[in-house]
Each structure stands twice: as structure tokens, then as C-alpha cells.
């Protein structure tokens, strides 16, 4: 439910505690393993999850996520698995918001109405679609909002002031700020000037700001957390999973997420 | 080219619309980071389009460097053999670098220069667009990097070498299916990363708006010339146009100037590979459904979930799993018809054109030649059929050798 997301960000702002939204690649390295990873992240205190639906041509993703999504597809991952995972997480008792991260074609082929329906039925909270332009929000945002689901807009370092305003006006629980001009992927250093850019941006926005792309460890998360309402970690987590034997994925993901949550508490 | 030359009917409903749509097709489905670059390109192109100096410069290079106009050759022998419509070949194979791709590259490099971009990137499948891009970059002294699927790098080693000779850097793309679609994804990723200083020179009518429009505008010289030439030679318009279609740049280049000539039939020919009933083909219009690939909404070969399908064609230049949005619109509105030809049929046409006319067509173009050979006998003797010979076949001789090899014997046709 998107109101839960809204409330979560409001509370976070009052408490000055940035939120942590880890990304889990569905079906990587298997459905069960990704479910374990998701549970571990939530247990470790993740504020919400981004559940990534694998797509054959992920143009916004760097090598790590490309390889992971390709692996998932080759091992039979289906789009409908996102709903299955939401259901599994809900029946295991997890209450945190769950967002589906998907490229537009998958949603388009599933059908927007069916997508919103299935998301709402299973207990999902919204969707993040990197190749859905702001111009198309008027077409799809109403049908998502009618079911109390969020559609999260992106803004990038190259977004004009006008587009930032446009994103801010969508009534979303948060905006996804792409920290670098580039694709997803863990980076050694945060882009120079990021914090300054975030502070300037945040002053103009009424919508909370969550930062993703290129954040790889608890220390970086804490740094970004000083100037944002939340951080997303994707590639670094997927990379960690790729190096971990399946039986230990839950433990390793839980530990990593726990460290990030702790680092963000100290911000 | 310039707006004054467009006819009044076209002015009433120019396509794409301001948001880049041909009916429901087209648009800009790209990550937010790229929206700024697309706006910048739209603005720069809108200015260039109206600027007579830009148009003069483009025409200068088309004539003096590329060698335009290309001839419209009457294929007398093949016409006699087919006993039907008079067959004319639009000789895009005679362009510099051997295919129509250079038309668009010349236009876009001039645009990139106006925009002050110092680095050009491009995707390529068979390597023809890569070679054409490397060529214009050498001509204008601009840094050039070409993305090409690892599989294509292997299959088209000669074109890779040509690009390197021309000073371009070739990146072998190892993601996904390691062919054109992945090269394009990788080029987009590079563009997202280096968006401020880099110009992405797309070679087909695919991709986000304004690319399908820009590529069409730079390729429509094919149809403009053909229209003038046939009016001069035959005193009337042709009955039908035939061109191969994948992304669809050579076909839209031929078709576009004839769109308002309602009596001129238009046929696009897709690659049917082993046959559209098999899994090995690239017939997007026949077997695909509308979806989003590389920033635009158009017919796409995909599975039920929307995962992009793998394709096959004997011709490396026809194996993109999508098609330009304007073609999807022409198909839905029935202004153009889309059919397909198999690998085998393309090979037949390849040999027929060689034997009858002394011309080796590119395997891509051979798909169109096959369709023309099929249509011509069913048309009245005085009717006229124009085939776009989009490229020459020298690059394909190896592939043809592998397929025909010892089966081939010399002698009279």
C-alpha cells in the first residue's frame, strides 16, 4: 500500500533517519535463494525491498545486474514470480513495503490493469520502471493510485529544473535519484559533488529523495544518507550473492544489510 | 528535405507527432538520464532541418563524397526472364562504402558537429553501419567507437578490420545474445554514461524519438531520387516498391517520398530465416507483437512475458528483433504490406541477380529481389516495379560460399 510508504518516509524525516531499500534480483541464483535473500534483508531491518524482475535487455544496468538477470532468465525465471515472491513474503509475516522493479515491456505485456490488480492482490506497494518516462505517468499513475500503489519517478543529474518539478508533482512516496550519469553498478567512490547536488535538490522538493546507482557499502550509504531520505543498494548486494554459496546467502545478505542499517542509524 | 518541398497533404498531419509517435508507435521510453540528450537532439535537428546551409552541406557531401544520385537501373534481362512487370533497381549498392547506410551517417555527423559533440558511438550488426560511421568519422576527424556483438565480430571479421583501418575503436559486446540487439543495448549504456559529450549515431529507424524521424529524413533521398528518375524514364509513377526491412532504414528511405502517391503499392520484406513457422527467423511483423525495445514502442519479437526473442537470418544485417515504429504504423494502416523471404529464397535471388544482371546484391537486398521476382510475373507487362538494392554483396560472398560451395557451377543462366 502506497500510504504505508508515504508514512514511512514522513516518519524517517522527522526522526532524521534515512531508509534502506535493498534490491533483490528475482530468481538469482534461484527463486528459493532469492526468497531467502529477501527474507534476510527484511529481517535485518531493510525499510522496504525492491524486487527486480529480470529482463533480457536491461539498458540501464551495468555488468553485475546484466549477468544476474541473464542467469535468472536462463534458469526459467518468469515475470509472475514477482507476485509469487510478494505473496511468499507476506505469508511469512513481513510487513515492509515491497516494490517491483521492472522494465516497461514486461509490465506492458502483462497488461497494466492486470499488473496493478495482481500487485494489489498479493500485497505489493508499487513499481519502479526505469524506462517509463515522466511524460507517460498520466496514463498509468492514476490506475496505480486507484489501487493505492505507488509509481516511482526517476530524476537524474541531467534532469532539467522543469522535469524535476514534473517528477515532484506526481504525488509519489519518493523520487529515485540516479546518483551518476551511467548504469547501475558498484563503484569505489561516490561521484564528486553528489552530496552538494542532493542538498540543493532536496531544498526544492516536497517529495522525499532516495538515491541509487553506485552505492556499494555501509560507509557510502551513511555518507549519502546525510543528504537523502533513503539509499538503494543493488549491484553490490547482487555481487555479494554471486560470491556466496547458496546455503549461506541468507546469512551473508542479512549481515550486509544489518551493517548498512546500522550505518544509517548513526547518520 | 526543407519544409517548403513537402506537399500540403503531408503538412496537415506530419508524422511523427511532436512527442515522437506514429499512431501508437515510437515515443521515448528511455531512462531519465537520456531525456536531456534526446531534447537536445530534437532541438538541434529542428534547427538544422530548417537551415538551408545545413541542407546545402548535406547535399554537397551526398554528391561529392557519397556519389549521389545513385542510378535507377532497368533490369532488362531479369525483366525478360520473368515475363511480367518492368523491374528497376535503385542502386544503393553504388554508394561509397557499398550500402545506403552512409546517407544517414553523413547527415548525422554534420548534425553532431553542429552540436559540438567530440565523440561518436554507434552500434552495428553486420558491420555496414559501423563501417559507414567509421568512414564519416575519419572524414571529419572525430573519435569513433563502435559496439558490435562478439558473435558478429567473429562472423564479420573483415568489416571489423575495415573499421579499425578507418581509425575506429571496435568494442566486442559479450552480453546477451552477442548480436546487434546487445550491441545497441551496450551503445545505449555507453551513451547514458557519457551523455554530455557523446553523440549516438543510430543506423536504423529504430530507437527513441527523434532517431526514427532523423534516419528517415536522411534516407529519404533514396525515394526522392527514385521518384524523379522513374518519372523521367517512364513518364509515370511505379506500380510497386519493394525493399527489405529489419530496422527499416532503406525501406523507409524508398517508401517515404511515395506515401502520398496512394496508387503506389509498397512491400517490405523481412528475413524468414529457416521459415516463419520455425523458431529461426527475424520476421518481426509476421510473428512479433507491439512492445518496447530500445526506447520505442513497435512490433517486437518476444515471448509471452515480453523477453526479447533470439533471431536468425543468413543476413547479419537483418537479425534485429524489432522494427522501426513508422513501419509498424504503415503496416497497421495498411499503407504498406510486409512479407518475408527465407534464407534459401534470398540465396536464389542472390544468384539470379548475379547471373542475369551482373550484380551481386547484399544478402539483405536479396530478400527484396526475391519478392520482386515473385511479384513481377503476376503483374501486367507494362507495369513498373522498383526494388531497393540497399547494398552490394561482396561482403556476403563468404557466407554464400559456405552455403552453396560445390553446388555452384558456371555456365549460362
For residue A247, the model assigns a pLDDT of 96
pLDDT tens digits for B151-177?
889 888 899 999 999 999 999 999 888
Q: Say if residue A74 is exposed, middle or buried (CB neighbours under 10 Å; 0-12, 13-18, 19+).
A: exposed
Q: What are the backbone angles phi and psi of residue A50, rounded to the nearest 5°? A: -105, 120
pTM over 0.80: yes
Percent of chain A with pLDDT over 90: 94
Q: Which three cell numbers stand for residue B239?
A: 506500380
Residue A115 CB neighbour total at 10 angstroms:
26
Helix (H, G, I), strand (E, B) or coil at A96: coil
The reply to whether B300 touches chain A by the CB within 8 Å rule is yes
User: What average pLDDT does this structure show over A238-261?
Assistant: 98
The reply to whether A79 touches chain B by the CB within 8 Å rule is yes
B32 and A134 in contact by Cβ < 8 A? yes
Q: Is A168 a catalytic residue?
A: no
pLDDT at B365 over 60: yes
Pairing of strands B289-293, B296-300: antiparallel
ipTM value = 0.96
A63 and B175 in contact by Cβ < 8 A? yes
Going across the sheet that includes B21-22, the strands are B21-22, B25-26, B296-300, B289-293
**What residues of B are annotated to the active site?**
101, 123, 390
For residue B374, the model assigns a pLDDT of 98
Distance CA B207, CA B77 (A): 40
Domains along the sequence of chain A with CATH: 2-152+229-262 (3.20.20.70)
Question: Half-sphere exposure of residue B322, counting CA atoms within 13 Å on the CB side?
Answer: 31
Q: Say if residue A150 is exposed, middle or buried (CB neighbours under 10 Å; 0-12, 13-18, 19+).
A: buried
For residue B176, the model assigns a pLDDT of 83
Distance CA B21, CA B7 (A): 20
Helix (H, G, I), strand (E, B) or coil at B199: strand
Where residue B411 falls among pLDDT bands split at 50, 70, 90? low
Q: Which residues contact B43 (CB under 8 A, 6 or more apart)?
A: none
Judging contacts by C-beta atoms under 8 Å, the chain A residues touching residue B295 are 59, 131
Q: Which residues contact B352 (CB under 8 A, 6 or more apart)?
A: B78, B369, B373, B413
pLDDT tens digits for B1-18?
333 344 444 445 789 999
Chain mean pLDDT for chain B:
94
Closest by Cβ to B35, choosing from A57, A104, A133: A133
pLDDT tens digits for A158-197?
999 999 999 999 999 999 999 988 899 888 899 989 999 9
Q: Are the C-beta atoms of A166 and B32 separated by less than 8 Å?
A: no
The C-alpha of A157 sits at a distance from chain B's nearest C-alpha, in angstroms, of 7
Amino acid at each position: 500500500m502506497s500510504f504505508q510508504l508515504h508514512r514511512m518516509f514522513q516518519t524517517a524525516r522527522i526522526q532524521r533517519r534515512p531508509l534502506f531499500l535493498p534490491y533483490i534480483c528475482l530468481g538469482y541464483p534461484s527463486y528459493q535463494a532469492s526468497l531467502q535473500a529477501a527474507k534476510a534483508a527484511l529481517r535485518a531491518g531493510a525499510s522496504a525491498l525492491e524486487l527486480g524482475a529480470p529482463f533480457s535487455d536491461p539498458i540501464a544496468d551495468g555488468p553485475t545486474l546484466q549477468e544476474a538477470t541473464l542467469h535468472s532468465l536462463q534458469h526459467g525465471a518468469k515475470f509472475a514470480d514477482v507476485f509469487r515472491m510478494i505473496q511468499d513474503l507476506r505469508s511469512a509475516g513481513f510487513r515492509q513495503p515491497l516494490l517491483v522493479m521492472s522494465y516497461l515491456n514486461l509490465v506492458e505485456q502483462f497488461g497494466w490493469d492486470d499488473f496493478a490488480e495482481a500487485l494489489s492482490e498479493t500485497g505489493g506497494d508499487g513499481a519502479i520502471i526505469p524506462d517509463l518516462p515522466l511524460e507517460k505517468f498520466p496514463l498509468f499513475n492514476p490506475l496505480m493510485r486507484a489501487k493505492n500503489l505507488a509509481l516511482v519517478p526517476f530524476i537524474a543529474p541531467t534532469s532539467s529544473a522543469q522535469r524535476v518539478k514534473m517528477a515532484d508533482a506526481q504525488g509519489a512516496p519518493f523520487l529515485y535519484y540516479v546518483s551518476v550519469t551511467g548504469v547501475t553498478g558498484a563503484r569505489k567512490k561516490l561521484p564528486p559533488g553528489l552530496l552538494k547536488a542532493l542538498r540543493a535538490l532536496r531544498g526544492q522538493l516536497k517529495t522525499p529523495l532516495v538515491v541509487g546507482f553506485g552505492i556499494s557499502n555501509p560507509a557510502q550509504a551513511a555518507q549519502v544518507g546525510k543528504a537523502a531520505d533513503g539509499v538503494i543498494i543493488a549491484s553490490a548486494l547482487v555481487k555479494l550473492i554471486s560470491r556466496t554459496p547458496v546455503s549461506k546467502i541468507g546469512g551473508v545478505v542479512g549481515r550486509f544489510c544489518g551493517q548498512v542499517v546500522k550505518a544509517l542509524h548513526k547518520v | 528535405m526543407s519544409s517548403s518541398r513537402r506537399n500540403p497533404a503531408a503538412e496537415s498531419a506530419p508524422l511523427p507527432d511532436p512527442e515522437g509517435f506514429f499512431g501508437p508507435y515510437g515515443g521515448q521510453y528511455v531512462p531519465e538520464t537520456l531525456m536531456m540528450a534526446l531534447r537536445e537532439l530534437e532541438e538541434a535537428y529542428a534547427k538544422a532541418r530548417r537551415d538551408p546551409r545545413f541542407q546545402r552541406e548535406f547535399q554537397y557531401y551526398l554528391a561529392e563524397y557519397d556519389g549521389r544520385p545513385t542510378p535507377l537501373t532497368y533490369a532488362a534481362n531479369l525483366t525478360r526472364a520473368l515475363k511480367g512487370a518492368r523491374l528497376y533497381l535503385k542502386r544503393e549498392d553504388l554508394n561509397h562504402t557499398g550500402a545506403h547506410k552512409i546517407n544517414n551517417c553523413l547527415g548525422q555527423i554534420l548534425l553532431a558537429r553542429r552540436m559540438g559533440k567530440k565523440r561518436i558511438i554507434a552500434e552495428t550488426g553486420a558491420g555496414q553501419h559501423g563501417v559507414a560511421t567509421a568512414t564519416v568519422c575519419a572524414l571529419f576527424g572525430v573519435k569513433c567507437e563502435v559496439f558490435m556483438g562478439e558473435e558478429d565480430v567473429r562472423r564479420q571479421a573483415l568489416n571489423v578490420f575495415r573499421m579499425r583501418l578507418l581509425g575506429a575503436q571496435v568494442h566486442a559486446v559479450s552480453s546477451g545474445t552477442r548480436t546487434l540487439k546487445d550491441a545497441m543495448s551496450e551503445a545505449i549504456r555507453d551513451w547514458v554514461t557519457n551523455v554530455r559529450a557523446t553523440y549516438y549515431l543510430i543506423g536504423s529507424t529504430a530507437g527513441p524519438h527523434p532517431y526514427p524521424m532523423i534516419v528517415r529524413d536522411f534516407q529519404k533521398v533514396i525515394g526522392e531520387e527514385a521518384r524523379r528518375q522513374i518519372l523521367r524514364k517512364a513518364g509515370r509513377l511505379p506500380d510497386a516498391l519493394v525493399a527489405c526491412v529489419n530496422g527499416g532504414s532503406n525501406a523507409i528511405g524508398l517508401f517515404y517520398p511515395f506515401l502520398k502517391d496512394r496508387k503506389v503499392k509498397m512491400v517490405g520484406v523481412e528475413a524468414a530465416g529457416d521459415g516463419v513457422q520455425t523458431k529461426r527467423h527475424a520476421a518481426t511483423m509476421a510473428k512479433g507483437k507491439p512492445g518496447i525495445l530500445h526506447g520505442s514502442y513497435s512490433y517486437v519479437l518476444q515471448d509471452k512475458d515480453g523477453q526479447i526473442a533470439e533471431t536468425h537470418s543468413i543476413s547479419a544485417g537483418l537479425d534485429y528483433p524489432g522494427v522501426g515504429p513508422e513501419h509498424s504504423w504503415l503496416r497497421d494502416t495498411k499503407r504498406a504490406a510486409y512479407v518475408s523471404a527465407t534464407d534459401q529464397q534470398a540465396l536464389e535471388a542472390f544468384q539470379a541477380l548475379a547471373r542475369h544482371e551482373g550484380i551481386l546484391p547484399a544478402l539483405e537486398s536479396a530478400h527484396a529481389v526475391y519478392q520482386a521476382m515473385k511479384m513481377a510475373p503476376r503483374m501486367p507487362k507494362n507495369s513498373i516495379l522498383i526494388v531497393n538494392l540497399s547494398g552490394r554483396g561482396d561482403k556476403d560472398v563468404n557466407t554464400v560460399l559456405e552455403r552453396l560451395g560445390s553446388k555452384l557451377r558456371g555456365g549460362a543462366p
